A = this chain, B = another copy of it.
Amino acid sequence: MNFNSFMPPQRTLMGPGPSDVSARVLSALARPTIGHLDPAFVGMMDEIKVLLQKAFITKNAFTIALSAPGSAGMEACFVNLVTAEDTVVVCRNGVFGGRMIENVERLGAKCIIVDSPWGRAVEAEKLEAVLKKHPEAKFVAFVHAETSTGALSDAETLCKIAKAYDCLTIVDAVTSLGGVELRVDDWQIDAVYSGSQKCLSCVPGISPVSFSEKAVEVIKNRSTPVPSWFLDQSLVMNYWSGEGKRSYHHTAPVNSLYALHEALLILNNEGLSQSWQRHKTQHEQLALGLEQLGLKFVVPENERLPQLNTVYIPDGVDDAKVRSYLLNEYNLEIGAGLGAFAGKAWRIGLMGYAARSENVALCLVALKSAIAKFST
């Protein structure tokens, strides 16, 4: 076997993530590696904490970037907060709600599932009915922006209901952070995790997480150790604390954090609400064009994620051939369906740096040509 340096093609990334990463972020990524205990690096970690607080709109002191992908961020929230004695209500309306259930079950905790249809928001009244029947519930968990379907749930209302029943809230904001309104403090979210590779348009591999004071108390008052050493946030806290007494836990992914810092800086400079608005504007342009191509959205208009557009594959159109053609002919990646939507839908991302007019234009032209070519 002969090996050569890997030269990736230059793609336009309009799938469910990773999203387009700007040259500015890639250039930050490639700056010289320094030690993770270097004072210069520690100062940058402190800035990342502040920039993440701004992005999450939270004052939570425990707001950090976990050194692993979003699925590890999810697991960190569950393994630190939930013990085998607890009852967790998980709302499921797609693949990632299902993954939350996996997490709860592996902890040996009791899981009560609130199912809503795939492609729709989580139904608040169903959650309330379940909480009424289960006063033992200690946590409510749901996905804010379901990456498998493109549905946006009303996180504010769901958290309000959870709080009325004295539950702590665990929210998946992997695809929502930076792309749609998300207010961790105002909405009373106790544990939230996201991913670097969606609307932050950073390289994949990092998971921003934030825990409320109440959540931190729960972690501190555990009677059993967190089953995972790597994800034990009581140890990670001391690694990320800015008090000048940082204690070694693991080696942070130095260069990926350079990139995250730069991506957060870009978001901060644009402004959060401006970023939300840009995603909305580009989505409207794309939706108009997709409808002109005769494509039907999976999600009703008022529950749609602007940053992830899921449309049914028209009858007689060859899914795999269309996606290959887009990739090979236009260097354009769109996403396949996932879970219940595998083979039935496309997922077109407009995340972060990818939410630009030129991407929308390319996608519409390329998709039109592909559909015409591969229809029977």
Q: Does A133 contact B (CB under 8 A)?
A: no
Instruction: Give the one of A30, A31, A72 with max B CB within 10 A.
Output: A30
Chain B minimum-CB-distance residue to A338:
B248
Distance (Å) between the CB of A248 and the closest chain B CB?
7
Q: A5 and B204: CB pair below 8 A?
A: no
A3-B265, A17-B251 are known contacts. Are A68 and B32 too (CB-CB below 8 A)? no
B6 with A195: CB separation less than 8 A: no
Q: Is A254 in the interface zone, CB < 8 Å from B?
A: yes
**Quick check: B36 and A227 within 8 Å, CB to CB?**
no
Interface centre among A18, A226, A327 (most CB of B within 10 A): A18
A203 touches B5 (CB 8 A): no
Given contacts A15-B35, A32-B8, A33-B203, whether A227 and B40 have CB atoms under 8 Å apart is no
Complex partner residue of A69 from B17, B105, B253, B336, CB under 8 angstroms: B253
Contact B3 A205, beta carbon cutoff 8 Å: no
**B99 x A229 contact (CB < 8 A):** yes
| Tally of this chain's copies | 2
Q: In the bound complex, what is the Cα–Cα distance between A9 and B268 (angstroms)?
A: 24
Q: Which residues of A in the span 300-329 have a Cβ within 8 Å of any Cβ on B?
A: 327
Q: How far is the CA of A355 from the CA of B38 in the complex (A)?
A: 20
Q: Is the CB of A30 within 8 A of B32?
A: no
Cβ-defined contact, B18 with A254, below 8 A: yes
A8 and B41: CB pair below 8 A? yes
A48 → B minimal CB distance (Å): 9
Q: Beyond A36-B18, A251-B204, is A7–B30 a contact (Cβ under 8 Å)?
A: no
Name the residue on B nearest A39 (C-beta): B327
- A366 at interface, CB cutoff 8 A: no
* From B75, B105, B262, B338, contact of A5 by CB (8 A): B262
> Closest Cβ of chain B: how far from A188's Cβ, in Å?
26
CB of A258 closer than 8 Å to a CB of B: yes
Collect the chain B residues with CB atoms within 8 Å of residue A254's CB: 18, 203-205
Check: A233 CB closer than 8 A to any chain B CB.
no
Among A21-29, A149-157, A162-170, A283-291, the stretch in contact with B: A21-29
User: Within 8 Å of chain B (Cβ to Cβ): is A71?
Assistant: yes
Contacting residues, chain B, for A37 (C-beta < 8 A): 336
With A75-B228, A327-B38 already in contact, the answer to whether A30 and B33 are too (CB < 8 A) is no
- Contact residues of A between 187 and 226, Cβ < 8 Å to B: 195, 197, 203-205, 225-226
Given contact pairs A8-B41, A67-B69, A71-B250, enumerate 19 new A-B contacts (beta carbons under 8 Å): A1-B47, A3-B268, A6-B31, A11-B34, A13-B34, A15-B35, A17-B251, A18-B251, A33-B197, A35-B333, A38-B327, A68-B68, A68-B72, A69-B230, A72-B230, A99-B229, A203-B253, A204-B251, A205-B252
